Amino acid sequence: MGRDVRIRHITEGDWDAIVALEAAAHSAGALSEERHALESRARSSPGTCFVLDFEKRPAGYVLALPYPMFRYPDLSRAEDVVHHSRNLHLHDLVVAEHVRGNGLARELLHRLTTTARAKKYERVSLIAVGGSEGFWSANAFDAVPEVALAPSYGASAVYMSKALRMSEALRMSEALYRSEPVHEDRDARRRSQPMVRSTDHPRKTK
């Protein structure tokens, strides 16, 4: 296949194409979001959201925004705060069906990871949906099955995470969350999540 591929930041004129790509990828799994919710994710962090042009037409995108570790967007709601976190949450990555299998998702991910490192993020998280866990595992993301997910993400959804670099505070937060002595009440830990929330400093966008 010819390789006229360009990855660039999203502009206003891209949204019709992004919404169409998103619906084609996620409607069957009932995971599709409203346009205003998608736009709000990108508005939260325009520097970490990209569109991929193939043969000069949008054929893929990635939306990523800072989110405290182990937390994630509500699919039914727009973002109303910008989180301050060293964890970047890859909310969605889609490649158009007719160009899949050509390494384009990997190129989008590489661009995002390079950007995240340059912006001093320490980790990238995501929720693998629709059977995509294998793709993310092959790209060095580890499943964190302890993280309870909203049913709206689908029964097979799995929270995954990958280290870029790690501060001592984030390392301790993750170690505490993941260390689960056999006698411990796992559900009680899930309900409380104190160390995670302590890193969360949201501020209103408006």
Residues with Cβ within 8 Å of 57's Cβ and at least 6 positions away in sequence, in order, are 17
Query: DSSP strand E in 26-145: where?
Result: 50-54, 57-66, 81-82, 87-95, 123-128, 142-143
Write the interaction track for ligand COA spanning residues 122-161; mark x where CB under 6 A is met and - where it is not. Answer: ----x-xxxxx-xx--x-----------------------
Nearest Cα to 58, choosing from 4, 92, 18, 22?
18
In the DSSP assignment, the letter for residue 188 is H
What's the closest the beta carbon of residue 105 comes to ligand COA, in angstroms? Answer: 3
- Nearer residue to ligand COA within complex by CB, 108 or 196: 108
Helix 35-44 to helix 15-26 angle (10° resolution) is 110
What's the closest the beta carbon of residue 201 comes to ligand COA, in angstroms? Answer: 26
> Do 49 and 28 touch, CB atoms closer than 8 A?
no
> What is the token pair recorded at 140?
């060095």
Per rule CB under 6 A, is residue 32 in the interface with ligand COA?
Answer: no
- Nearer residue to ligand COA within complex by CB, 105 or 170: 105
Write the interaction track for ligand COA spanning residues 99-128; mark x where CB under 6 A is met and - where it is not. Answer: -xxxxxxx-------------------x-x
Q: What are phi and psi for residue 58, nearest 5 degrees?
A: -60, 125
Per rule CB under 6 A, is residue 18 in the interface with ligand COA?
Answer: no
> What is the token pair recorded at 125?
């998280």
Per rule CB under 6 A, is residue 202 in the interface with ligand COA?
Answer: no
The H-or-E segment that residue 196 falls in is: helix 194-197
Per rule CB under 6 A, is residue 10 in the interface with ligand COA?
Answer: no
Per CB under 6 A, the segment of 11-19, 68-76, 86-94, 168-176 that binds ligand COA is 86-94
Q: Work out which of 25, 42, 88, 170 binds ligand COA, going by CB under 6 A.
A: 25
- Nearer residue to ligand COA within complex by CB, 151 or 181: 151
Which residues in this chain contact ligand COA in the complex, by CB under 6 A? 25, 92-95, 100-106, 126, 128-132, 134-135, 138
